[in-house]
Structure 1
Amino acid sequence: MPSPISGLTTPEKTAQSQSSGVATGLAELFNENTAAKIWRVAMAFIEHDPNLETYPEYILPLGGAAGKYLSKPATFWTCGFFPASLYCLLERLRRYPQALPRPPQLEAVAFHNQLLALCRAWSAPLHAQATRTNSHDLGFIMQSLRMDWELNGTEASLKSYVSAAESLATRYDERVRAIRSWDKAVSHSYEIVDKEKNFLIVIDSMCNMDLLFYAAHHSSNSKLSSIAATHAHTVLRTIVRPDNSTYHVANLDPQSGNVQLNMTHQGYSDDSTWSRGQAWAILGFTQTYMWTRDTTFLSAAQRTADYFLQRLSESPAPTHKDVPLWDFDAPPYEDIDTNGQPLRDTSAGMIAANGLLLLHQALQAADPLRSSLYLTAALRIASDTIGYSVERNDVASFTVDNHSKVQVAPGTWDAILKHSTANNNASALMRYRDLGLVYADYYFLELGNKLLRMGLV
């Protein structure tokens, strides 16, 4: 079997890509269309619902609602991604203004103030989520409040962020040594609802540990860090397979913490590798290593990353092989996308690319060769995503009205990207695929911001 990172370039070629490829081949990470799409959706939702009781989630490619964001209640796990996308733009405007085109007829201060107002409007309703104890996804939900604290020094946002971490910690069970991810799992094939007999954890949970680590350091509550690290060890033990692929779900015995069942809820089958789950593992274990410096987590991040890259290299897709299939083990032509190609998940690629950039950063001093290989892989995923998934028929741009207010004309596709898959399990209560997804766009924007922070553009 070839190396899991075979086909990647040498450090010399990586250096060349840093100086030229990122600036040119990945320019669409930073173009006007990317920012204007986010702005347009932000304004349209506020005009329709000033109280923002619902948040964007997904876009269907066909049918009467095609091209327009369909929304979920503000309590849904994805509600934090759109406000975080706005804050990604604010970070660019503040720290890397060359990476955020603005209307030339509008002063920078006016552009900034309008963007800041949008950020605040979209993040304000999320404070109410901080005391929830019925969700493990508070890290995703509260991300924009952390960004508000970091960019604006808003103490109320930090307070809510720390409160959310404390709320999440209430879901920890010392007997199981884990945080309960879901209270129930229901599909057309099963109904797991009894919490006395079932303790469900999912691979996605690894990316919510960042909330606990961050809040621990800002509140001097070391218990939060301890819970996060312990949960990560349990995920590693119960969800990562011996070949470094991942299950989606582990159902643990609430009394002993032993695995009762491994299964999928969104992937192809219980024994397949759902690509977004594998991506969550790469990002989550790398984040956990960055906080703990426990090499157990660094090894887990590398092993799950190498598996992901190996499966990309084996892709049966005819083009843009680094946009991952929605599940690495699904029959490739059982479901096809609007390009007539095997069904993909753009969001999985964007999440994985973010994790690979962090791995690159973590290994720069200790293993520069491997660090360069992970960087090259992240850039390759980004390049193929731009080539395959950026919507080309609707290009958004900024204008300014007579009152010096930024405007973006209506379009035909609300998101930056296409070809994500939220849940394509055959037994799912709601099966939706080949979509625009709010978190695909967020991780696309965050990837650009990581490159800016690392000085690679």
Structure 2
Amino acid sequence: MLKATSIFVILILFFSCKTPESNSQSLISVIDQSLEFATQQSLRMAESLKNQPDKLPQTIDKNGKLVTCNSDWWVSGFFPGVLWYLYENSPSDSLKLWAENFTLRVEDQQYTTDNHDVGFMIFCSFGNGYRLTGNPEYKEVIHNASKSLITRFNPTIGCIRSWDYSSWSAQWQYPVIIDNMMNLELLEWSAKTFNDTTFSHVARTHANTTLKNHFRDDYSSFHVISYDTITGAVEKKNTSQGYADDSAWARGQAWGLYGYTMMYRKTGNKTYLDQAKHIADFMINHPNFPEDKIPYWDFNAPDIPNALRDASAGAIMCSALIELSTYISSEKGEQYLQIAEKQIRTLSSDEYLATPGTNGNFILKHSVGHMPNKSEVNVPLSYADYYFTEALLRMKKVLQGQQLFND
């Protein structure tokens, strides 16, 4: 694992030198209050599903009622991951028992080969569980999931396929979405843990192919790149969830930022670090990036400034910027960390943070799932909660002078 550069120490000194009334002290208070709220809200969520052992939280419907999913939906691993993060922050028997309970609800997905989201499903749940408990059964599940995921890799194309053929995906021969960068951490972890370079070869080839084809000259990203299955050449550049094929769908930009930051941590390849910085700079310098630092659902949405915000994109971006800030020079790193601080403060405000017992017992309000399909629009989403909780813990570790990663 890469160690943080000197920026880590500089930032600690930067925060520790401030007075008790300064932002560093109040930020710690904001973080602790948000984590305490997240803990109580998540325990209520877990209790509400006690008698539905096959269900996991997804969102709410138009009446505010909880919508759940089965283990085979791509978001199934996020709530177990939230519970593990909250347990990491404040260990308790109840949090651990619920984290174990909900983690086991997605165990069957270790053998999933019909979609690319096994990384989200298994590594957010079992990955965090193994990191915190060392349970050898969790380790084996992660290994099996990695073997399942690489069955979707096509060496001619150099990517893991995202979606299989169906009536709605028939327009693409071999679709690969920017989201897929997030599933590579599972493979890199398994490559090191099981001393098997097959996993890292797939992960790095996918990352390199995505870097080559998914990004425009300004470092914004297409959502969907489809490849010719015979030649491996790019056949189409489209979107499924953004405003337009040539727009910058906010969560897609955040996936790319997070994915290349993570790949730098796992490989030490400076090309990935440079890509992450380019993506970050595109986002934070975009003229449509709001003052409160929570992106509109698409940077090119036609109704800005009245377009909906996407708390999930803000949370993912925040978590990535915190990590990225520890790998680079002091001035740039401080800028990224200041953006992340603003995002934490905004997401922890009444505008985005729910009140106890409301919001279907989710933590954050105002995320956008799939605007073109008018699906999960301006609602809580389990992955927004996951990356928000992760960002809170990462920032807390930075402020307390702790390493972010020990693997």
TM norm. shorter chain > 0.5 = yes
Displacement of 1:260: 0.6
Which residue, out of 138, 148, 152, partners 2:129?
148
Equivalent residue for 1:27? 29
Equivalent residue for 2:183? 208
Q: Using the alignment, how far apart are the partners of 1:56 and 1:376 within structure 2?
A: 32
Equivalent residue for 1:125? 105
Q: Using the alignment, how far apart are the partners of 1:225 and 1:119 within structure 2?
A: 29
Q: Using the alignment, how far apart are the partners of 1:23 and 1:237 within structure 2?
A: 42
Equivalent residue for 1:91? 88
Alignment of 1:261-410 (within 5 A): 261-311=236-286, 314-315=288-289, 320-333=291-304, 341-363=306-328, 367-387=329-349, 389-391=351-353, 394-395=355-356, 410=357
Displacement of 1:412: 5.5
CA contact (8 A) 2:225 2:238 kept: yes
Alignment of 1:46-65 (within 5 A): 46-47=50-51, 49=52, 51=53, 53-60=54-61, 63=62, 65=63
CA contact (8 A) 1:185 1:192 kept: yes
Displacement of 1:178: 0.8
Q: Using the alignment, how far apart are the partners of 2:42 and 2:88 within structure 1?
A: 14
Equivalent residue for 1:246? 221
Q: Using the alignment, how far apart are the partners of 1:213 and 1:298 within structure 2?
A: 16
Displacement of 1:456: 4.0
Letter of the aligned partner of 2:343 in structure 1?
Answer: I
CA contact (8 A) 1:26 1:386 kept: no
Considering only CA atoms, is the larger Rg found in Structure 1 or Structure 2? 1
CA contact (8 A) 2:111 2:145 kept: yes
- Counterpart of 1:237 in 2: which secondary structure? helix
Which residue, out of 68, 73, 79, partners 1:76?
73
Displacement of 1:73: 1.8
Displacement of 1:14: 6.4
Residue 113 (structure 1) aligned with residue 93 (structure 2): yes
Which residue, out of 115, 119, 144, partners 1:135?
115
CA contact (8 A) 2:359 2:365 kept: no
Residue 39 (structure 1) aligned with residue 43 (structure 2): yes
Displacement of 1:455: 3.9
Q: Using the alignment, how far apart are the partners of 1:299 and 1:17 within structure 2?
A: 31
Which residue, out of 143, 151, 159, partners 1:162?
143
Q: Using the alignment, how far apart are the partners of 2:366 and 2:93 within structure 1?
A: 33
Residues 3-29 of structure 1: CA deviation (Å, up to 9, x unaligned): xxxxxxx97976667974244146343
Q: How many residues align?
A: 387
- Identity score, percent: 28
Displacement of 1:388: 5.9
Query: What TM-score results when the alignment is normalised by the length of structure 1?
Result: 0.80
Q: Using the alignment, how far apart are the partners of 1:322 and 1:388 within structure 2?
A: 15
- Counterpart of 1:422 in 2: which secondary structure? strand
- Counterpart of 1:56 in 2: which secondary structure? strand
Q: 1:153 to 1:181 in 2, by over 3 A?
A: same
Q: Using the alignment, how far apart are the partners of 1:149 and 1:245 within structure 2?
A: 35
Letter of the aligned partner of 1:331 in structure 2?
Answer: P
Q: Using the alignment, how far apart are the partners of 1:226 and 1:17 within structure 2?
A: 45
- Residue range with higher mean Cα deviation, 36-45 or 443-452: 443-452
- Residue range with higher mean Cα deviation, 78-87 or 291-300: 291-300
Residues 276-319 of structure 1: CA deviation (Å, up to 9, x unaligned): 000000000010011111111111100011001112x534x6xx
- Counterpart of 2:57 in 1: which secondary structure? strand
Q: Using the alignment, how far apart are the partners of 1:240 and 1:89 within structure 2?
A: 35
Displacement of 1:179: 0.7
**Alignment gaps of 5+ in structure 2:** 1-9, 402-407
- Counterpart of 1:332 in 2: which secondary structure? coil
CA contact (8 A) 2:55 2:105 kept: no
Q: 1:28 to 1:39 in 2, by over 3 A?
A: farther
- Residue range with higher mean Cα deviation, 11-20 or 118-127: 11-20
CA contact (8 A) 2:301 2:307 kept: no
Q: Using the alignment, how far apart are the partners of 2:383 and 2:19 within structure 1?
A: 26
Displacement of 1:176: 0.4
Q: 1:15 to 1:302 in 2, by over 3 A?
A: farther
CA contact (8 A) 1:14 1:376 kept: no
**Alignment gaps of 5+ in structure 1:** 1-9, 95-111, 396-409
- Counterpart of 1:390 in 2: which secondary structure? coil
Q: Using the alignment, how far apart are the partners of 1:200 and 1:375 within structure 2?
A: 34
Q: Using the alignment, how far apart are the partners of 1:267 and 1:17 within structure 2?
A: 41
Q: Using the alignment, how far apart are the partners of 1:136 and 1:28 within structure 2?
A: 36
CA contact (8 A) 1:22 1:456 kept: no
Q: Using the alignment, how far apart are the partners of 1:321 and 1:17 within structure 2?
A: 23
Residue 420 (structure 1) aligned with residue 394 (structure 2): no
